[in-house]
Chains A and B, each alone.
Chain A
Amino acid sequence: GESVGLHLPTLSVQEGDNSIINCAYSNSASDYFIWYKQESGKGPQFIIDIRSNMDKRQGQRVTVLLNKTVKHLSLQIAATQPGDSAVYFCAENIDTGRRALTFGSGTRLQVQP
């Protein structure tokens, strides 16, 4: 079965609030994780990545947290904007000998103006 999954299929937030999207993974050997944003009718767009030797990484308005103890990944979006409305996927590289990414099922973020 899938080794990457998301707790909340849909997340609705008010514009200006912070958003947190969560992801659970089951393979403790996974060493690389990526968050992608996908808007309707478009391909996934890279947001931020993190390697397993880190527990936090920050980008512009986004932060990814990795908790290897409980195998949990989260994406925090600060001051959420309407343009952030999309489906967000976490993806992991399970097998370090291969390059295939395993994607979760996605969380839809809806930003209310």
Chain B
Amino acid sequence: NAGVMQNPRHLVRRRGQEARLRCSPMKGHSHVYWYRQLPEEGLKFMVYLQKENIIDESGMPKERFSAEFPKEGPSILRIQQVVRGDSAAYFCASSGYGDSKIGEQFFGPGTRLTVL
């Protein structure tokens, strides 16, 4: 299966701990997007990355949240000092489009973060 991979699928953290969410894009894709989804709501854009570059982080909270997409390895969404309000499903998507028009984004299965 060459789809978008995310792990872990479920993550439980206590308040104040750190959460690390990983995303491996589809083979051949170099564009990665992170979205957050609260129960019964639509997805909210957080950040868009290409290899070693953050292109658009306009949806990312200014504090405690960071993202990276290194030259080698998966993209990482990191949440420091988690709070209960961070509990949500975090989805990663990837696309293979370059500088041309936006195209289809393929989503992974998500990581469900629960903060106790």
Contacts and interface: CB of A to CB of B under 8 A. Distances in A.
Given A100-B48, A105-B42, A43 B104 contact: no
Interface of A: 2, 4, 31-32, 34, 36, 42-46, 49, 51, 89, 91, 93, 96, 98-106
A43 B42 contact: no
Interface in B97-114: 101-102, 104-110
A104 B41 CA distance: 8
B13 to A, nearest CB: 20
A43 B109 contact: yes
A75 B65 CA distance: 35
Given A42-B110, A89-B43, A106-B41, A101 B105 contact: yes
Interface string B77-116: 0000000000000010001000001101111111000000
B12 interface: no
Contact of B101 (A2, A32, A103, A104): A32
